[in-house]
A and B are shown apart, each in its own frame.
Chain A
């Protein structure tokens, strides 16, 4: 098993998105590993993240996370849904090594988060909910800084092109649109070729075009074999992107399955929709009228 780099599942040479720009990723020498991986993946999904009895109790005795357990398989997109205050962000931050764990264990790529938070951080990419960056630094300079912090040798130009920001290389973050900011923020999570990226509400506040564009980017990251764990408030997004999802409420996981299974389970419980669901949504109307072209 290869660690420290991006492991690829499926087609070893993939042409990546963004404005007709094509680049091959991963490089040809990864081919053999990729095939080997693909074989393994087909045989049985290997969990890359195992969370057992994870609990967070704050100093004022409020319990934000109440002993949750779940595992995330290598290469899947795993979603965490839940109303505000359900404990999503706290859960992510404990896994990421950003917040101390009250009890329970987090095993990421074979490393215990509470014992080795820095080793965990080395292998993952983290997009924070409200991502802010140093002012007065150009996109390339910020990416170079992050690259150096990880001791990585990733090519910055390629990385910017991957997220569709090649033309904005010399821009400052404050001059980017909301969608571009989020794409840049995701680019910073990829400098270390992480085995897993964490995206905390990546599409909140974006217009439908920018949201769809970000979905493409997340799908692309997945297609490289990078595991993605994300939180969202948008159900269509969860349904479109996530292989499996956990629904959290009040610090506990109340359901965990694939989106289709969760829907099926609801229907078998005798659920009746409030009204006839039309075969198209208002968002479909909006996108039909305004097009899918990015506006930023």
Chain B
């Protein structure tokens, strides 16, 4: 076996053992994100309905009754009939997520020709994510009815069968966010503290006393972290799907690829900080300074739609924003990689920048 490969494998094996024997780190890695996910899972899927909808039907057509029937049938909706005024009032109070108004001429025909009409939806601007998800679901329902009504063949609607948008809920929105957050935290905190500890204790220097360049050790550590974070991501998605009915609209492969890119990016942050810092006391403030703004402003738990324009445009460029957005696009909307070029390019640019900077500030002792 090639000596470089043997050295690399030896250091990777050592890194793996060091990791799984460190019970505290394992708990931090797994328990925290699982607990967080569970909280959101129970909150959003717990008692009763997910999206509260108030509808007003001005039409008497069979189609409109069918739409109402569909609304009531959809488990994720709590659809209640009320007047437009009642609905508007409840919407402003935050008791409703979505108001639906079915017009009088909905799905009616004049002289055998179907008339165009539109269903109107209103949502609370303070809760744009729920409003938008609900609207997406309604659009889905209506377009089904539309095709039935106009008797048009579904020529261009390739995806509609696969989309389960009518069941998308807040959990589906928040899980990609939790994953992105986990990837960031494992990358920054998971790496920086343990690596700088090895540097401060002199264990890393002992490797330098061997004929192996310590960069092999960094690679070994990176591989282990990559595998662990990827496994954690997979576990969260599995648990989320099994227990809280997470819906993956897009492909798991694209989702995984974005996750890997994100992991590599945030490992760069972690090794950069650990490489620059002399000891643990220097790691904590820098790591927190970097991760806290991202944690709060990258749209992990709530949409950034409500942000003031300037803040939104600044946070647009956060690495965690790209990662969260990319994961969400694939998971919630079934986007392919070619449909999220901005997120991918954003992450790649950050990746190159961070690694260049990390190499520049890296100190072995």
Contact = CB atoms under 8 A, between A and B. Distances in A.
A118 B211 contact: yes
B7 A149 contact: yes
Contacts of A121: 209-211
A132 B209 contact: no
Given A128-B202, A137-B17, A151-B3, A145 B209 contact: no
A145 B17 CA distance: 12
A144 interface: yes
B6 A145 contact: no
B210 A133 contact: no
Contacts of A130: 202
B14 A145 contact: yes
A239 interface: no
A136 interface: yes
Interface of B: 3, 6-7, 9-11, 13-14, 17-18, 21-22, 198, 201-203, 205-213
B17 A149 contact: no
Contact of A126 (B11, B14, B21, B209): B209
B210 A134 contact: no
A96 interface: yes
Contact of A132 (B10, B14, B17, B202): B202
Given A126-B209, A131-B206, A133-B203, A145 B10 contact: yes
Given A118-B211, A149-B7, A149-B10, A128 B206 contact: yes
Most buried by A among B10, B205, B206, B212: B206
Contact of A137 (B7, B18, B212): B18
Most buried by A among B7, B205, B211, B212: B211
A112 B227 CA distance: 41
B17 A96 contact: no
Main SS class of interface, B: helix
A98 interface: yes
A136 B18 contact: yes
Contacts of B208: 98
19 contacts: A98-B208, A98-B209, A121-B211, A128-B209, A131-B202, A132-B201, A132-B205, A133-B203, A134-B198, A135-B18, A137-B14, A142-B14, A145-B10, A145-B14, A148-B7, A149-B10, A149-B211, A151-B6, A151-B7
Contacts of B198: 134
Contacts, number: 67
Contact of A141 (B7, B17, B202, B206): B17
Contacts of A35: none
Contact of B203 (A126, A134, A148): A134
Contact of B14 (A98, A134, A188): A134
Contact of B21 (A136, A145, A188): A136
Nearest to B18: A136
Nearest to B208: A98
Nearest to B19: A136
Nearest to B7: A149
Nearest to B213: A118
Interface string A137-165: 10001101110111100000000000000
A135 to B, nearest CB: 7
B284 to A, nearest CB: 20
Contacts of A135: 18, 22, 203
Contacts of B21: 136-137
Given A126-B209, A128-B202, A151-B7, 16 more contacts: A96-B209, A98-B205, A118-B211, A122-B211, A128-B205, A133-B206, A135-B18, A136-B17, A136-B22, A137-B14, A141-B14, A145-B10, A145-B13, A148-B7, A148-B10, A149-B207
Contacts of A122: 211
A151 B213 CA distance: 14
A134 B17 CA distance: 10
B65 to A, nearest CB: 67
A140 to B, nearest CB: 11
B129 to A, nearest CB: 43
A145 B11 contact: yes
Contacts of A137: 14, 17-18, 21
Nearest to B22: A136
B18 A149 contact: no
Contacts of B211: 118-119, 121-122, 149-150
A182 to B, nearest CB: 14
A218 B205 CA distance: 23
A132 B199 CA distance: 10
B84 to A, nearest CB: 66
Interface in A90-138: 96, 98, 118-119, 121-122, 126, 128, 130-137
Most buried by A among B22, B208, B213: B208
A123 to B, nearest CB: 9
A79 B272 CA distance: 40
Q: Which 10 A-B pairs have the closest CB atoms?
A: A148-B10, A136-B21, A132-B202, A126-B209, A132-B201, A121-B211, A122-B211, A149-B210, A132-B203, A151-B3
Contact of B210 (A132, A136, A146): A146
Nearest to A118: B211
Given A145-B13, A151-B3, A132 B18 contact: no
Contacts of B11: 145, 149
Contacts of A145: 10-11, 13-14
